Chains A and B, each alone.
Chain A
Amino acid sequence: MFFFICIFGKAIDPEKKQLFQKAGYDLPLMPDKTLETLDYIEKNFVLDTDEKEKLDYLKIKSLFCQNNLNEALKKIADKDENLSTNIVILKRNILGYLSIQTLSFTKKYESNNDIIFSEQIKNLTDKVNQNKIKNISGPLSAILKKATTCNLLLARENLLLLFESAGLKDFKSSDYFLKEIQKLYNNDVEFQIFYGHFLIENNKLDEAKALIGSLPKESLEQTANINLKYEYYDLLVDYYSKTGSYGNYKEYSDKTESILKLLDQAKFSAKNKWFNIVENNYKDEEKSLLESRKSILFYIIAAGSIIIILILIRFLQISTQIKEYRNFISKINILKEKKTSQPQTIPEKTESLLLEKLQNFEKSEDCIDPNISLQNLAKKLETNTKYLSEAINTHKQKNFNAYINELRINYIINKLKEKSIYRSYKIKYLAEESGFSTHSAFTAVFKSVTGMSPASYIQLLKEKEV
């Protein structure tokens, strides 16, 4: 029976190792059992990367042996560079079985010994099949020498194909090779079956009979490995054809025919599957390329738009500030002009007394009283509302409300200049402090007096101090 060789010589859990060995041992005759064992390993043990690769390899091989090609193809659908070396070799074997051409190996695998050896065997098999080689014993010896030190599990399928071709073309020259390979794959029934074919081909019927007798008939009859079963029945057809036993010949001939139909159907369906896989892979590649390019374009547009929006926001901020500064400067200039030219229209005695009282009022902080009115102030300054209003209009060039509002704003400006703590107060508080009933009225008056908003003014004060 074919023996299992651990592919990745690492020390592993003895139970796990034993189960892996069992899975490999069962593979040729009981691939269904192999799959069960692998499922058990997967569920009950923690596997490292190498073990997972080994598990995948055996699973694919088991599916292949059971003629479940579509499932096997699904597992090898990925690009070579994303698969492990052993699966790449197996992938090529499966695709070769379906007569699907594969591209040459990528650089990643060019120097890999297992790959190099598998290619050597394959090349020699092709040459033998095409009768391009005269004496095959030399090349076969070279392969045999390498086979003794190689990973036998990985090389098995290729060696099996070479074994079949070499035996069919030149049994005499290849007999030594065939015997030695059988020794390497001790008890591997598939090699024995092929050897049986060559014995029959070369009329060594007694030896063939002995070999057939030594095969595990019951296991072969019940095996889930459809290809192996076909080869076994085909060997019997060959044998009974030579011995002329019609009953047996007919029986096994019918059996091979029905199995061959199953194999052909699976191949046919698998070829369709592979074509769909390839086509979908190409479509997926195109789709992912398109998506990646679209996302690059989207990010560029998004980044560009954000940058533009940010610059525009700054641009608008600057424009607003420029407007405020301009208003402020123009107000200052108006004030300066007013100070320089003040008209003299009211009678001097009453006027000077009232102006003196007004000056005192301006120096006091009474303007921030929220209840102040023309009547209240006239009473306070011991005059009538008409005189007061006229004096304000003539000497201050504004009405009473504007006069009080300006005094209040000047009051708060002084506070802001003198006490830096005021700069940290909320506008609402500043409005209340200066006698305004609402925050918006304060902001509007402040802006009309200074030309800029209270916030900008505070900012400017801060910057000046810095």
Chain B
Amino acid sequence: MKRFILITMLLFGFFGIANEPAVAGILDKAQKLMLQNPAEAFRLAKTVYDNKDVNHEQKLQSLFILTNTSNMLQKPLEVIKFGNKALEIADYNGDAITKIKILGILGNTYQSLQLNEKTRVYLDQAEVLLSSPKISDSLYMIKGNIFYLKGMNYFYSLDSGIALSYFNKAINQYLQSKNPLAEINIKLAYLNKGFALIQQKQTKLAIENLNLASINTMESANHYPPQYVELQQAFIELGKAKILALENKPDLSNNILFEILKQRKNQAPRDDIENEIYELISKNFLQLKDIEKHDYYEYIYKKRVAESNSESAKLVNQLILQEGADSTSEKLSINKKYVFLIGLTVTFFSIIIIFILFKTVKKEKIRRTLRKEATKNI
């Protein structure tokens, strides 16, 4: 699942230079640090965001960096918080490109929380914006990213056919892009296209795509983010192991899988790849009629999935609580605004009513006196 997060880490670089030199300097520095030191970039962007003197454009830039770095630091709740604020400002400024980028990151974040429907809402919005006349045809990279994320969304809702068409669209866009990051993202698109083809049991095509997903660091001039190459390679190997399992070669498949586990021993654990490895090992042992080992790896797999689900549930629960808190504060602000408006209206009408009532009473007194006089003379 975290494969998603990787892609936004590699894209969505930012835009203009800020007007105010000191703020511009900080934002520029934060932007440069985004890939190498997201925590520091987050800290710098936060100082700009908390500064009340910055203009709308700078606020949007800082929010964009905060959203992006929160995404890299795997803090989904922060991504949603800053992303929605950035979306509001981008919407207010009519900045369609930033809006698409933020919608993409938000969609990606909801996907990582397994909130598929919500993901689709954001990605659909982004896709609609992509076809608007405001968006230049040359924004291949942004288009490619949105198509890639939509492809992943369909892939996770088990509609690999539609997923494939989106991966193809994404690849087509990346191929036309001159952005150096497109070279990295296209590898991810090929990788996941390969996985979608495995799901459809099209093993030959899957192998071709897995090969295209492979990175030759010697040939490439790109500076890849840390651990990216190893992780990409591990996923490619996992794909190959899946193909072998489909071809009824469980022992060969397991050899690859154990090799991946061995190589990943000293690296930070990642649920997405490791859970799939344990699941496949367990299935392969079942094929090999080794019940004991099947039971063992199945137990590990189920335990890990339960832990992942529990973590994801915790985040969703926190998100629900955050939504509740946001809603309470929104209700408070509505109440505050309307109490003020109601008070103002009541005061306004009271003053007018008292004034004209006073005038009327005065007139009435005159009328009564005149009536008395007129009655006398009638």
Residue positions of A touching B, CB distance < 8 A: 98-101, 241, 244, 246, 249-250, 253, 265, 268-269, 271-273, 275-276, 278-279, 282-283, 285-286, 289-290, 293-294, 296-297, 300-301, 304-305, 307-308, 311-312, 314-315, 318-319, 321-322, 325-326, 328-329, 332, 452, 460-461, 463-464
Q: A244 and B291 in contact (CB under 8 A), knowing A300-B346, A308-B352? A: yes
Closest to A301 in B: B345
| CB-CB under 8 A for A325 and B331, given A275-B316, A311-B353, A315-B359 | no
Asked whether, in the complex, the Cβ of B335 is within 8 Å of the Cβ of A289, the reply is yes
User: Is A282 a contact of B327 with CB atoms below 8 Å?
Assistant: yes
- In the bound complex, do residue B349 and residue A272 qualify as a contact, i.e. CB atoms below 8 Å apart? no
A301-B345, A329-B370 as given contacts; A307 in contact with B335, CB under 8 Å: no
B334 within 8 A of A: yes
Given contacts A249-B291, A293-B335, A304-B345, contact A315 B356 (CB under 8 A): yes
Chain B proximity of A277: nearest CB distance (Å): 10
Q: Which of B114-122, B170-178, B218-226 contacts A (4 or more CB under 8 A)?
A: B114-122
Tell me which residues across on chain B come within 8 A of A275, comparing CB atoms. Answer: 115, 117-118, 316, 319-320
| Chain B contacts for A265, CB-based, 8 A | 158
Which listed segment binds A: B101-109, B123-131, B361-369? B361-369
Indicate whether B357 reaches chain A with its CB closer than 8 angstroms: yes
A282-B324, A286-B334 known; A461+B317 contact, CB < 8 A: no
Taking a contact as CB atoms under 8 Å apart, the answer to whether A101 and B317 are in contact is: yes
A463 and B338 in contact (CB under 8 A), knowing A100-B317, A282-B327, A311-B353? no
CB atoms of A278 and B370 under 8 A apart: no
Instruction: Jot down 21 A-B pairs with beta carbons below 8 A, ordered by A.
Output: A241-B295, A244-B291, A246-B289, A268-B114, A269-B116, A271-B316, A278-B324, A279-B118, A293-B334, A293-B342, A300-B342, A300-B349, A304-B345, A304-B352, A305-B349, A311-B357, A315-B363, A325-B371, A329-B373, A460-B378, A463-B371
The yes or no answer to B248 lying at the interface (CB within 8 A) is: no
Asked whether any CB of chain A lies closer than 8 Å to the CB of B323, the reply is: yes
Chain B residue with minimal CB distance to A98? B313
| B370–A326 CB distance below 8 A | yes
Tell whether, in the assembled complex, residue B360 and residue A311 are in contact, meaning their CB atoms are under 8 Å apart.
Answer: yes
Judge if B341 is at the interface, Cβ distance under 8 Å.
yes
* 8 Å CB contact of A325 from B330, B346, B370: B370
B375 located at the interface, meaning its Cβ lies under 8 Å from any Cβ of chain A in the complex? yes
Contacts of B55 in A (CB 8 A): none
Given contacts A311-B353, A328-B377, 7 further A-B contacts (CB under 8 A): A99-B313, A275-B115, A286-B327, A297-B342, A315-B363, A322-B370, A460-B374
Instruction: Determine if B371 and A300 form an interchain contact, defined as CB atoms under 8 angstroms apart.
Output: no
- Whether the pair B360, A315 counts as a contact (CB closer than 8 A) is yes
* Docked-complex contact B371 and A460, CB < 8 angstroms: yes
Choose one: B158, B286, B324, B356; the contact of A311 (CB below 8 Å). Answer: B356
The listed residue (A279, A283, A322) touching B363 by CB distance below 8 A is: A322
Give chain B residues whose Cβ lies under 8 Å from the Cβ of A319: 363
- CB pair B115–A464 under 8 Å, yes or no, is no
B263 within 8 A of A: no
Expressed in whole angstroms, the Cα–Cα distance for A319 and B362 within the complex equals: 11
